[in-house]
């Protein structure tokens, strides 16, 4: 049996690439010097796309593959895949939920603690300045009022972890969930009662800039914002302005518009903790994500039900 042709949108670790190459004829789009010519050459052979959360698959890529059947995402977020284009052609899309939930929640909570307690700055101080001055006092984490914006799988796990810090937890979601936290539908009202707002919402047209200037103002000069979801959930221009003027206390961010090219204004801010989009970035989780991405491809080509379909 000839191996199905798979368009590969980004690089994978060797432990994923080797089995992917064994099962499929892979075509590395990401390293092609002339991408248009590359696609024109192999587009009609492609039956599946293997991609990641950040790169996804645009309408143009999908259109260039007339025999496409499946897009398998190495990541839970599917905002970078043009779902409308897929639906119109009956193309299936899968992602990697669940396997990355704990790691994403772990990093979110680590960022809450690191931001509030100034852990990264304290490290620099211990190395360079301790003999000259005391490290400034920081913010108490235990007992904070936390807001979780988007109570999906990851949001629920963030909540469970924050309970361990004795936090008073509220959340926004489309509808109330079966959790022992206060439901506040309006993000601005949620921000107004929060010391720290953790954004875990999935990203789509509806959630774009859900954290806007008003939400940031409601969080206020003592308020902390943590984002491990997608940059598009926050109005980044309003965020930079709020951080620069002190209208917002601080932000810990794992995702950025145009990443990995950060807006240079972030780099000169003292009240931010910047992370390189690595919430799912552990060996254990990335291996599980790679396996699930390949298992979805394999299930499709074996005519079996997809393990984790988006559509």
- Per CB under 6 A, residues contacting ligand 8YV are 52-54, 74-77, 100, 277, 280
* Closest residue to ligand 8YV in the complex (CB): 75
Active site residue 209: no
Q: Report the DSSP beta bridge partners of residue 252.
A: 226, 273
Q: What letter would DSSP give residue 118?
A: T
- Of the two residues 207 and 280, which places its CB atom closer to ligand 8YV in the complex? 280
Per the CB < 8 A criterion, the answer to whether 170 and 146 are in contact is yes
- Is 92:70 a contact under the CB 8 Å cutoff? yes
Verify whether residue 259 is a known catalytic residue. yes
The minimum distance between CB 221 and ligand 8YV, in angstroms, equals 30
Task: Classify 72 in phi/psi space as left (phi over 0), alpha (psi -120 to 50) or beta.
Answer: beta
Question: Please, which residue, 107 or 219, has the CB nearer to ligand 8YV?
Answer: 107
Instruction: Tell me which of 139, 257, 259, 265 is the catalytic residue.
Output: 259
- Does residue 277 have an active-site annotation? yes
Residue 307 beta carbon to ligand 8YV: minimum distance, rounded to whole angstroms = 16
In 91-167, the DSSP E strands lie at 92-94, 145-149
- The DSSP 8-state label assigned to residue 24 in this structure reads S
Closest CA to 237 of 277, 273, 266: 266
Shortest spacing between CB 149 and ligand 8YV, in angstroms:
16
Kindly tell me which of 52 and 227 has the beta carbon lying closer to ligand 8YV: 52
Provide the minimum distance between the beta carbon of 154 and ligand 8YV in the complex, in angstroms, as a whole number: 9
CB of 78 or CB of 171, closer to ligand 8YV? 78
Cβ(308)–Cβ(95) below 8 Å: yes
The catalytic residues are 230, 259, 277
């Amino acid at each position: 049996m000839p191996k199905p042709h798979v368009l590969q949108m980004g690089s994978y670790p060797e432990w994923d690439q080797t089995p992917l190459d064994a099962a499929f004829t892979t075509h590395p789009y990401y390293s092609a010097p002339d991408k248009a010519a590359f696609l024109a050459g192999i587009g009609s052979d492609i039956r599946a796309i293997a991609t990641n959360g950040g790169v996804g698959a645009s309408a143009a890529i999908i259109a260039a593959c007339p025999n496409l059947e499946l897009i398998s995402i190495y990541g839970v977020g599917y905002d970078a895949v043009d779902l409308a284009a897929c639906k119109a052609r009956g193309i299936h899309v899968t992602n990697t939920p669940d396997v990355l939930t704990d790691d994403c929640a772990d990093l979110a909570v680590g960022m809450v603690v690191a931001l509030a307690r100034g852990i990264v700055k304290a490290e620099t101080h211990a190395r360079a300045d301790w003999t000259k001055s005391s490290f400034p006092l920081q913010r108490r984490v235990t007992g904070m009022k936390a807001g979780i914006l988007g109570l999906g799988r990851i949001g629920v796990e963030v909540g469970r972890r924050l309970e361990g810090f004795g936090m008073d937890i509220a959340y926004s979601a489309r509808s109330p969930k079966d959790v022992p936290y206060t439901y506040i539908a309006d993000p601005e009202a949620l921000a107004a009662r929060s010391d720290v707002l953790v954004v875990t919402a999935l990203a789509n047209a509806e959630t774009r800039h859900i954290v806007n200037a008003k939400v940031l103002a409601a969080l206020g000069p003592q308020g902390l914002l943590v984002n491990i979801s997608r940059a598009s959930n926050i109005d980044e221009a309003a965020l930079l302005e709020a951080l620069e003027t002190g209208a917002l206390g601080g932000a810990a961010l794992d995702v950025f518009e145009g990443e990995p090219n950060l807006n240079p204004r972030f780099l000169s801010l003292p009240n931010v903790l910047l992370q390189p989009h690595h919430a799912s970035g552990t060996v254990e989780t990335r291996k599980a994500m790679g396996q699930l991405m390949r298992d979805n491809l394999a299930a499709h080509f074996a005519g079996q039900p997809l393990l984790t379909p988006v559509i």
